[in-house]
Each structure stands twice: as structure tokens, then as C-alpha cells.
Amino acid sequence: MRIAIPTVILSLVAATSVYAAPAAPVQMDKRGWVIDQLKPVFEKALKTLECGACVAALVAAKDLAYLNRNWVLDAANSLCDDFNIMPADVCSGLVYSQGPVLIEAVMQASILSGDGKQICFQVLGACPPTGISSGTVTFPKVKPVNAVAPTHSGNLVDVLHLSDWHVDNEYVVGSEGDCNRPLCCRKYSDSPLTPKRKASSWGDYKCDAPIKLGADLLKYVPSVANVNFSILTGDVPPHDVWRQNKDTVIAAEEVAYSEMKKGLSAKVYPAIGNHEAGPTNLFPTKATGGDIQWLYDSLADDWSRWLPADAVNSVKNYGAYTASPAPGLRIISLNNNFCYTLNFYLYGKTKDYDPNGELKWLVAQLQAAEDAGERAWIIGHVSPSQTDCIQNWSALYYQIVQRYSPHVIAEQFFGHSHYDEFALFYGPGAKTAANAISTAWVGPSVTPYTNLNPGFRVYKVDSKSWNVFDSLTYVADMNKAAEWDATGATPNWHLEYSARAAYGAYVPINATQPLSASWWHDVTTAFEKTPAAFQQYWTYRHKSANLQAACATGSDCQKEMICDLRAGKSSDACSGISFSLKREDEEADAMDPTGLHSLYKRAEPKPWNVKNCGLTSSL
């Protein structure tokens, strides 16, 4: 999941020399003097997010880094402390874990030849988009003429979708549930003796999942599903992003996978999330170098209980794999952290649109599936539809989906946002129901972080076509957690909704047909025409926590949301990267307990982040 805090590291590091001040007196401490010069400049940069200022800051930071990289980090940490953006330990943890990779990327980048604007756009939304590359994917074979999806067998099997568990094995019952750090429900050195809101034993809306919450979820699943196999779309470790490292990540992984081994009898097919790295988000490519082999080795060991030997070896090499849970179906697990905008390793060479060869590998797996007459499920963490997937990578991925749909790619599954969502892919041409070719199912999070109920999905899937015929979302009402503790009860897991029943009321569907991309497009049209349908979706998106901001019928929020549902590639999304848009303002306030977002949202809206999201019905 993306949280607002790490984005400040770019500003902190880059802005350390954005101000061209006169030479400091020799007798004066240079570090202290420079910080004094930078305070007003840094504050202005945060408030305006001006493109020129951002690029100039990168140029200056690059020059300064040649003198002393550690000094840049020290200055950034001091700035973070002085501006009271976040507690001191969070500042230092983020600066000294994320900063070195960012500095190296800036030093390798051609700041004035487009890289600078690309960084400023993708990370902060401060510059206009640099434009989608005209490059195309090279395919081994042309698409078969009249390629069509297979027929359905009528036999449905249950598949469990878990995402964003974020298990916190340092969760402390009775600790502060409403703290000033990115993650609460832990004992910090400055925690109050008397908490404002005591953390229940089951979790809290500003906290990650205690071990017992996930264990109870797994215990509940067999009562509602005869699971054929499960998918896990990434992010097992917690959101303590300022202190995540190799040891904390491995500890969280061991706890979660041990619980899954005990709680699930069927095989699990996982994918890697951005929080699997330690430090968070930082996945080096083979070209950049960097220490990530420990993660691939650790996950290969954890996943070996479910995966065949060749898939385990692939995990060790790429963090990705392919495996067959049933005859005729190939699961392709992507490590698509190489499209993630906060993976700072990617910014040394922003024009390398497939920086670790992941897309080339994906094409090879899909071609093998096509040659074998197999269906394919693509699973990953960051949906290519989301704005924190780099636009050029997402555009190339979109081409791949168009090439191998609908006859090979049956479905796509992702996580990362924590919301209950979907996104649609279309063939060349207009975004219409007739032209919709594939659906990306974005799974709800197990963690209640932030202001969400914990949840999971069960899919009813045809065992021949491997298309989804129904999606059942289950949740527990976290606002009752204190009551569960007081009475000795367990979470009230229950069916929140069936997608087929809930939206079929607005767009009727034949019992013999799956929940296809065409049907989902018609559902988005119902969202435009029927206020009750959209408001129902808005509630379900937040897993019925009822803590979300309003998204009124006819508002820009609604237009953006429907636009995003039809945006399988990130450049088509209407919510934008900037924090200046209304819906992002409302949600980012809840996601950022440090107050940093209050600075961002004062910036003037950028025209490149406000798109034409008018309602255009295809019915």
C-alpha cells in the first residue's frame, strides 16, 4: 500500500540545496547555516509543488551529493525534525533508510534531459506528465484470428483471495490506538500512560492486524467456502515503514505464513508486495544492484510448501513465478514493484520502461500458455490501473493484456489499495461494454488500516474457463472490537455482499454467464444513472466501515471514481497523482496522521492532474 509519508523524502533530500544562497562565513557551522537558509524554501516547495522548483532542487541535490552524501542525509533529517512533519524517530528512520537509494538514483539520472520532470511527476505530481512512450511490446507470435474465450463447464469452485494482511507481531493490546505516528497500537517511548483510545485485542482502525485477527479470519473461512486454492496479493509486513529492515520483514513473514499453513489446507499462491522489501518499497533491478536476494530466498523457502520446485527457483531469481493449481490453468505471479512510483531504484534511468525484464518474462509465460491452450490468471500487488504504477510500464502492460485477451488471460488479481475495487481493460478504440476485454480484481485488505473493516473475498470460479461467476466479500465490524473483548466474543465475520446479487439488481445477468468485463462496464454505467447503485459501491469499497468521506451523486468525486474503474492503465486514471483533488484530500487526511498532507493540499490544483471525467454512457 502507498502511504503519504515516504513521498516527503524526495522533497527533504532534493530541497536541501534548492536555495542558491551566498557563501557561508568560514567561522559558521555550514550545516546549521544551510538548514537556516532552507527552511523558507522547503516550506514554499511543499505548499506550491512547482515543477521548476522541484527540478531545480534535484539538480542542486545532485551537485551537493557529490560533495558528501551523508551530509545531505543529515540535512534532510534536520529539516524533517525542524518542520515537525513527523516524530523524530520516524524522520530519521525514513531519511536514513530511503535516502541513500534516492540520492544514488538522482546522481545517475539525467535531471535536465527529462528524468527530473519524470521524477517530479511520478512521485509528487509537481510536473506535468512527460508523455507515454510510443514504444510497443514485441510479441513472439501474432494474435490468433478470432481468438475467443473457452466455453464454461458450469462447475464452480471456491477460490480465496487474501490481500494486504499487514500482520503486526508487535501489536500491544491496550496501547494508544490514535497516535501521532504512521502506525498505532504499539508501545512507543513517548506513548501516554493513559491512552485516548485503547487498542482492543482484535485491532483498531489506525492499526495493522494483530496476529489473532488473521488467525481468526482463517478459522472462519472453511465455514463459508470449500477452498480449492488461495491467492495472496502481497503486503504481509506491517506499516512501520520508518524501521522496516531484513529482520522485521522476515519475522512478519514467518508469523503470517505459519498461520496460513495452520489455517488453510489448500495451496496458496502468493505475490510480492511493496512492503515485503526492507527498507520498504526498495526493489533493486539487476542493473542497479542492491541487497534483495535475502528476500527472494526467504520467500522461496516460505512458499516452497505450496509451489513446485521450478517455481521456487524462479522466486529466488526474480521474485516471480508461474504455477498450475489445476489442469488448464496457469497462475502467473508478477513482482510488479518494478512499476511502483516509490521504488526509488527506478529513477536512475526513467526511460527504461521494463527495468527488470518483468514484462518480457510475462509475455513469455502468456505465450507458453497460449501455445498449450491454457487459461492464465495474473496476480500481483500494485494494480497497473493505480496512479502509483509508473505510466509507461502500465501502458506496456496494457498492450500485453490486449494481445492475450480474452482467449488466454481469464482474470487479473491485485491488492495494494486496501479497498474493495476493480478496474477494466479495453481493446483498441472506445471504452464501451462491447470493447471491454478484461477485469482487474483489486482485493480488500485483511488489515483495518486505515479506517476500514478487515475483509477477504471468495470467488466462485468456473473450473474450465476459470472466469469469475461471483465475488463474495466478507468483513468484520471493527467498531465492535471493544465489545468483543468485553464479552469474550470473536469477530463477527459475515457476508457483506455478493457482487452478482448486489449489482445484478441494476444490470441483470444470465446465470450461465460470468461477471465479465463487459458486464462490469455496464455496472459502471448504472453507477452513472442510478445514485443508489453508486452509493452502494462507495460503501462496499470501504468494506462498510462508514468512516469514509461522502462522495455525492454528480460530484467530481463520483466522476473520478467511475473514470478510475474504467482505467486499466494508470495514465487513464482521473484521480491523479497530486494530493490536490477532492477525493484524495478526504482520504489522505485519514491516511496521514503526521499532518504532512495538510501542507500538500494547500497547493494549487495542477491542470495535468484534473482530467475530463465527464459521464459518458454507452447504453
Q: Is residue 292 located within the same domain as residue 414?
A: yes
Same domain, 264 and 313: yes
**CA-to-CA distance for 526 and 472, rounded, in angstroms?**
20
Residues 208 and 109 reside in one and the same domain: no
Amino acid at 297: D
Handedness of CA 542, 261, 467, 324 (dihedral sign): positive
* CB neighbour class for 31 (10 Å; exposed up to 12, middle 13-18, buried from 19): middle
To the question of whether residue 494 is assigned a binding role by annotation, the answer is: no
Would 557 be classed as within a structural domain? no
pLDDT in tens, 3-56: 443 344 444 444 444 444 445 555 457 766 655 655 565 566 666 788 888 888
Q: Is 604 among the domain residues?
A: no
Q: What is the CA radius of gyration of the chain?
A: 24
Whether residue 423 contacts residue 436, with contact meaning beta carbons closer than 8 Å, is answered with no
CA atoms within 13 A on the CB side of 292: 27
Burial class (CB in 10 A: 0-12, 13-18, 19+), 155: exposed
The pLDDT of residue 590 is 43
Across residues 281-309, what is the average pLDDT?
96
Nearest C-alpha neighbor of 563 from the set 594, 525, 597, 608: 525
Work out the number of other CB atoms within 10 angstroms of the CB of residue 189. Answer: 6
**Which H or E element spans position 584?**
helix 582-591
Distance CA 346, CA 115 (A): 11
pLDDT of residue 15: 42
- Is residue 592 marked as binding? no
Tell me: do 400 and 315 sit in the same domain: yes
Instruction: Output the pLDDT for position 266.
Output: 97
Last residue of a domain, one of 474, 501, 528: 501
Q: What percent of the chain has pLDDT over 90?
A: 72
pLDDT for 431-462, tens place per residue? 999 999 999 999 999 999 999 999 999 999 99
Q: Is residue 41 part of a domain?
A: yes
pLDDT tens-digit readout, 196-250 = 999 999 999 999 999 999 999 999 999 999 999 999 999 999 999 999 999 999 9
Same domain membership, residue 245 and residue 109: no
**Residues of the domain holding 245:** 156-501
Number of domains in the chain: 2
Cβ-based burial of 107 (10 A; exposed 0-12, middle 13-18, buried ≥19):
middle
Same domain membership, residue 428 and residue 362: yes
Residues 100 and 220 in one domain: no
Is pLDDT above 90 for 587?
no
* Whether residue 258 sits in one domain with residue 197: yes
Tens of pLDDT, residues 52-88: 888 888 887 887 778 778 877 887 788 788 778 789 9
Contacts of 164 (CB under 8 A, 6+ apart): 1, 233, 234, 235, 273, 415, 416, 418, 443, 445, 446, 447
Query: In the prediction, which pLDDT does 123 show?
Result: 84
Least confident of 126-130, 165-169, 200-204, 277-281: 126-130
Q: Do 68 and 162 lie in a common domain?
A: no
Query: What distance in Å separates the CA atoms of residue 372 and residue 366, rounded to the nearest whole number?
Result: 10
96 has a pLDDT exceeding 60 = yes
Q: What is the dihedral of CA 341, 343, 347, 352, to 10 degrees?
A: -80
DSSP 375: E
Residue 416 marked ligand-binding: yes
Nearest to 377 by CA among 403, 401, 361, 353: 401
Q: Where among 105, 124, 143 does a domain terminate?
A: 124
Residue 282 reports pLDDT greater than 60: yes
Mean pLDDT of 499-506: 98
DSSP 184-205: -SS--TT--SS-SSBPPSS--T
Domain presence at residue 559: no
Task: Give domain status of residue 531, yes or no.
Answer: no
Domain ends where: 501, 524, 558?
501
Q: Is residue 20 part of a domain?
A: yes
For residues 61 and 202, state if they share a domain: no
Element (H, E) at 119: helix 115-119
Q: Is 74 annotated as a binding residue?
A: no
Listed residue (357, 279, 349) closest to 318, CA to CA: 357
Task: Specify the pLDDT at position 570.
Answer: 94
As a whole number of angstroms, the distance between CA 3 and CA 8 comes to 11
Residue 407 assigned ligand-binding role: no
Region 564-574: what's the mean pLDDT?
95
Mean residue pLDDT of the chain comes to: 88
Out of 132-136, 144-148, 549-553, least confident range: 132-136
By DSSP bridging, strand 156-162 and strand 455-462 are antiparallel
Stretch 352-361: mean pLDDT:
94
Whether 578 is in a domain gets the answer no
Burial of residue 198, with CB atoms counted within 10 A of its CB: 0-12 exposed, 13-18 middle, 19 or more buried: middle
CATH classification at residue 496: 3.60.21.10
Amino acid 592: pLDDT: 45
Q: Where are the alpha helices (DSSP H) in 1-113?
A: 7-14, 30-48, 51-67, 69-82, 88-108
| pLDDT one-digit tens code per residue, 155-173 | 999 999 999 999 999 999 9
Q: How far apart are CA 475 and CA 543, in angstroms?
A: 7
Domain assignment present for 596: no
113 and 183 in a single domain? The answer is no
Q: Are residues 179 and 111 in the same domain?
A: no
